[in-house]
């Protein structure tokens, strides 16, 4: 089944982005099986890491996911429309004035400060109902969450809090590096805090934690990047790739030895070259730093089955590729080349672009022709 989601007609745009819903579901089932008996949630923030919130939500639901995390109330509201029966947590906390949105759409805030807890308790009191929420405890990342002493304070009045404490949560800072000492320290601190809240489900692991030591799993794991085919740990290959990106060749041109390509004349070709100019650029989420220069090789795309390096800087809407080694009959203006897929992943672009696969995924352009495929 190939499902068209509302999108831009292919003839009006420079690229085709295909999301493999089957791979997405398989990645979910794979992680869920590895962490059982812990439960496996799915993290859908940032438009499901760029692949599309609504179709991703439906796919994970069919694969068995029942608990979901988003970053913002607006994402929670969209997700509630897509999944009426899901448990939805909003990670970034309880923004001032957002309480009614949580109440109306049955969203659970992840409360990350004493002030947020007080605000949720006041809202619950006004509603006359101990509504569910998670509490985030910081164990060393210093981003969101109660300080350990504040968590102890909450534990002391555990039986009289004015909301339902449905989940205790903390977040790992370094689980992608298997030997990083902070992970063991965070685990130890989280175990100690979780022990103060008997009977409350606990959750610590992101993708890297879910694919790591069992001790990190607790009751619920919260994978994001691994579901979407990105690399979660330095010591493991990614699961199945989910995104394919094909870019249109706008023009093919000849460039003479010593001539430069693109802005800043940053890369001069060293031989008589054929260059394909593709109709996509950094405005489509391709990291600008992944271009080529005289000092550094650029990322590669697949042209007629061959890896061809970018040449020169990436522009806003265009980029150039050296196709000199591709037989002339195998490639023509108007053809599509593969920028993601066929062994080229978001992490390859990230390495060349000085960033991480997460950023490449979540930056995927909004002006591609998008196809959601599910067989």
Ligand X SMILES: *Cc1c(COP(=O)(O)O)cnc(C)c1O
Q: Which stretch binds ligand X (CB under 6 A): 154-162, 222-230, 303-311, 337-345?
A: 222-230
220 in Cβ contact with 187 (< 8 Å): no
Q: Measuring CA to CA, how many Å separate 206 from each of 187, 327, 358?
A: 13, 45, 13
Cα end-to-end distance, the chain, whole Å: 5
Mark whether 296 is an active-site residue. no
Q: Which residue, 45 or 119, has its beta carbon nearer to ligand X? A: 45
Catalytic residue among 89, 228, 263, 282: 263
Q: Which residue, 186 or 338, has its beta carbon nearer to ligand X? A: 186
Binding flags for ligand X, 268-307, as an x/- string (CB under 6 A): ----------------------------------------
Q: 10 Å Cβ neighbour count for 153?
A: 13
Pairing of strands 108-111, 87-90: parallel
For 96-100, the CB contacts below 8 A with 24+ separation are 98/73, 99/123
Q: Which stretch binds ligand X (CB under 6 A): 17-25, 145-153, 218-226, 268-276?
A: 218-226
DSSP string, 141-188: --SSSB-HHHHHHHHHTGGG-SSEEEEEE---SSTTSTT-HHHHHHHH
* Contact flag: residue 108 with ligand X (CB under 6 A): no
- Residue 141, annotated as binding a ligand: no
Omega of the bond prior to 37 within 30 degrees of 0, cis? yes
* Contact flag: residue 223 with ligand X (CB under 6 A): yes
- Residue 77, annotated as binding a ligand: no
Binding flags for ligand X, 135-164, as an x/- string (CB under 6 A): ------------------------------
CB of 31 to ligand X, least distance (A): 10
Taking the C-alpha atoms of residue 156 and residue 179, their distance in angstroms, rounded to an integer, is 34
CB of 237 to ligand X, least distance (A): 16
Angle at which helices 181-194 and 148-156 pack, to 10 degrees? Answer: 10
Binding flags for ligand X, 64-93, as an x/- string (CB under 6 A): ---------------------------x--
Q: Which residue, 233 or 352, has its beta carbon nearer to ligand X? A: 233
Q: Which residue, 91 or 249, has its beta carbon nearer to ligand X? A: 91
Mark whether 282 is an active-site residue. no
* Contact flag: residue 43 with ligand X (CB under 6 A): yes
CA dihedral 232→238→243→245, nearest 10 degrees, is: 100
Q: 10 Å Cβ neighbour count for 11?
A: 7
Number of residues interacting with ligand X: please give it, by CB under 6 A.
Answer: 12
> What values do phi and psi take at 276, rounded to 5?
-95, 130
* Contact flag: residue 109 with ligand X (CB under 6 A): no
Catalytic residue among 28, 45, 49, 89: 45
Taking the C-alpha atoms of residue 169 and residue 150, their distance in angstroms, rounded to an integer, is 14
* Contact flag: residue 206 with ligand X (CB under 6 A): yes
Among 16, 171, 217, 231, binds ligand X (CB under 6 A): 171
Q: Which stretch binds ligand X (CB under 6 A): 7-15, 223-231, 238-246, 249-257?
A: 223-231
* Contact flag: residue 222 with ligand X (CB under 6 A): yes
DSSP string, 49-71: HTT-HHHHHHHHHHTT--EEEES
CB of 284 to ligand X, least distance (A): 22
* Contact flag: residue 94 with ligand X (CB under 6 A): no
Query: Which helix (H) or strand (E) segment is 130 a member of?
Result: none
Among 224, 229, 281, 345, binds ligand X (CB under 6 A): 224
Q: Detail the residues annotated as belonging to a binding site.
A: 143, 316
Annotated catalytic residues are 45, 263
Note the residues at the interface with ligand X (CB under 6 A): 43, 45, 91, 171, 206-207, 222-226, 232
């Amino acid at each position: 089944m190939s499902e068209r989601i509302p999108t831009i007609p292919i003839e009006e745009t420079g690229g085709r982005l295909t999301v493999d819903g089957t791979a997405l579901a398989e990645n979910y089932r794979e992680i869920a099986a590895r962490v059982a008996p812990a439960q496996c949630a799915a993290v859908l923030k940032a438009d499901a890491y760029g692949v599309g919130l609504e179709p991703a939500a439906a796919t994970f639901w069919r694969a068995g996911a029942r608990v979901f995390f988003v970053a913002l109330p607006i994402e929670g509201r969209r997700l509630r429309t897509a999944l009426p029966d899901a448990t939805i947590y909003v990670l970034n906390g309880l923004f001032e004035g957002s309480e009614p949105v949580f109440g109306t759409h049955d969203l659970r805030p992840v409360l990350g400060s004493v002030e947020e807890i007080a605000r949720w308790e006041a809202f619950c009191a006004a509603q006359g109902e101990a509504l569910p929420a998670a509490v985030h405890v910081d164990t060393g990342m210093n981003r969101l969450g109660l300080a350990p002493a504040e968590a102890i304070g909450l534990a002391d009045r555990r039986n009289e809090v004015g909301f339902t404490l449905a989940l205790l949560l903390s977040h790992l800072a370094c689980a992608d590096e298997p030997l990083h000492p902070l992970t063991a320290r965070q685990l130890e601190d989280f175990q100690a805090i979780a022990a103060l809240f008997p009977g409350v489900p606990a959750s610590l692991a992101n993708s890297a934690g879910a694919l790591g030591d069992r001790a990190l799993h607790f009751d619920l794991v919260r994978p994001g990047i691994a579901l979407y085919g990105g690399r979660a740990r330095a010591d493991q290959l990614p699961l199945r790739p989910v995104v394919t990106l094909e870019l249109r060749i706008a023009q093919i041109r000849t460039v003479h030895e010593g001539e430069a390509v693109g802005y800043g004349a940053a890369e001069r070709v060293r031989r008589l070259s054929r260059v394909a100019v593709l109709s996509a650029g950094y405005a489509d989420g391709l990291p600008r730093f992944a271009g080529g220069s005289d000092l550094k090789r650029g990322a590669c795309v697949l042209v007629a089955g061959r890896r061809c390096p970018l040449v020169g800087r990436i522009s806003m809407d265009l980029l150039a590729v050296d196709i000199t080694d591709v037989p002339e009959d195998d490639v023509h203006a108007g053809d599509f080349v593969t920028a993601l897929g066929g062994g080229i992943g978001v992490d390859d672009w990230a390495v060349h672009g000085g960033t991480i696969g997460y950023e490449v995924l979540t930056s995927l352009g909004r002006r591609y022709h998008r196809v959601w495929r599910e067989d």
